[in-house]
Amino acid sequence: MDPATVLNDLKFVTRLDDKGMFDLAMAFPEQCRKAIAIALQADLTAFRRSYKLVVLSGLGGSAAGGDFLRGLFEAYGTVPYQVVRDYHLPAYVDKDTLVIACSYSGQTEETLSAYGEAKEKGATIIAITSGGKLAEQATADGFPVITIPGGQPPRTALGFMLMPAVVACEKLDLIPRQAYDAFVVHLELCARHWGMETEFDHNPTKQLAAALFGKLSVLYGLGTWPGLVANRWKGQINENAKNMTFANTFPELNHNEILGWVQADHQGVDQWVMVCLQEGGESAKMKKRLEVTKRMISGVAESHDVFAEGADLLQKMVSLAFYGDFVSLYLAALNGVDPENIDSINTLKSELSAIP
């Protein structure tokens, strides 16, 4: 099978995509536009006050937006911020904490547990969900609910989960206003560039999917927020392509994982490939870290660079994540798997539901 040929065949690419995952990817810019409009209509006036901490609670696709919000807080935020992917909140969450409870379905058991703890601790809560128990509880407790459309896989709903959180924090003066119109236009251009109609020779997402096909990949972020995007890529490749991959971040990986490459060619892996996600304006020290790391692993793994595009941080983070969505879907087509199927996750949820 020649990836350069088959990835230009629309029938081949979509032959197992009965649930329309490619269509959902192409609709992502419009999803972001809708999510922004919904969030701008939310009245949060009564919740404008001084907070000492912001915590976003969520899991899986519902938490992915929280990672990108972290990037905005670390660049521009006025208070500390963290993402919690667990049943429990940190002990220091209190009445001066804003908790953003994110569950696309509204039924995520970990998020519902964290919601209960936030309420007990007297925290202010904003719920972002399509409905379910989370919406019911928040409404009954008098907390604002930003209701977004449901009915699609949570991992395809990044816009619906991220943009309301961004807008809410903006409304509460926790981060500066973002250039939303330019943001959506940028994503529309990306979709046209990376979509199925753009042929292999001019489509870097198809080319990277071909490079990853049949290999074990490691995804490295050259800095904190590229590392957050690398983790999003990991989840998308896991879920959509049913492919094992790993993620890590510079400079931390230079203090440990770099030594793992010493024996990597003796660990039963036929082919390794390293992908480094970059902003493009890194410091000389960070550039040197990547240069030396590439040189040290050159005999074990081929390497690829992907650079963020955009005029501001929001555009760069989200479009770089969007790039990974297309890579994961093209890789799913090459792997011959249904990108929507999550039978393994459903089996686990079913067995967990039997435990009181």
| Residue of 52, 287, 288, 349 marked catalytic | 349
Q: Is 304 considered catalytic here?
A: no
The pLDDT tens digits for 212-263 are 999 999 999 999 999 999 999 999 999 999 999 999 999 999 999 999 999 9
CA distance 128 to 138: 10
239 catalytic, yes or no? yes
Active site residue 309: no
Q: What is the pLDDT of residues 165-209, one digit of tens each?
A: 999 999 999 999 999 999 999 999 999 999 999 999 999 999 999
Q: What is the pLDDT of residues 292-325, one digit of tens each?
A: 999 999 999 999 999 999 999 999 999 999 999 9
Catalytic residue from among 239, 242, 279, 340:
239
- CA pair distance 210, 48, nearest whole angstrom: 49
pLDDT band at 353 (very low <50, low <70, confident <90, very high): confident
**C-alpha span between 128 and 168 (Å, rounded):** 10
Q: Give all domains of the chain, ordered by start, each with its CATH number.
A: 3-14+186-335 (3.40.50.10490), 22-178 (3.40.50.10490)
Token code pair at residue 209: 């999917």
> Taking the model in full, what pTM does it have?
0.95
Point out which residues pair with 275 in neighbouring strands: 219, 304
Helix (H, G, I), strand (E, B) or coil at 104: coil
Task: Please give the average per-residue pLDDT across 350-355, as a whole number.
Answer: 83
Q: Out of 255, 266, 285, 351, pick the active-site residue.
A: 255
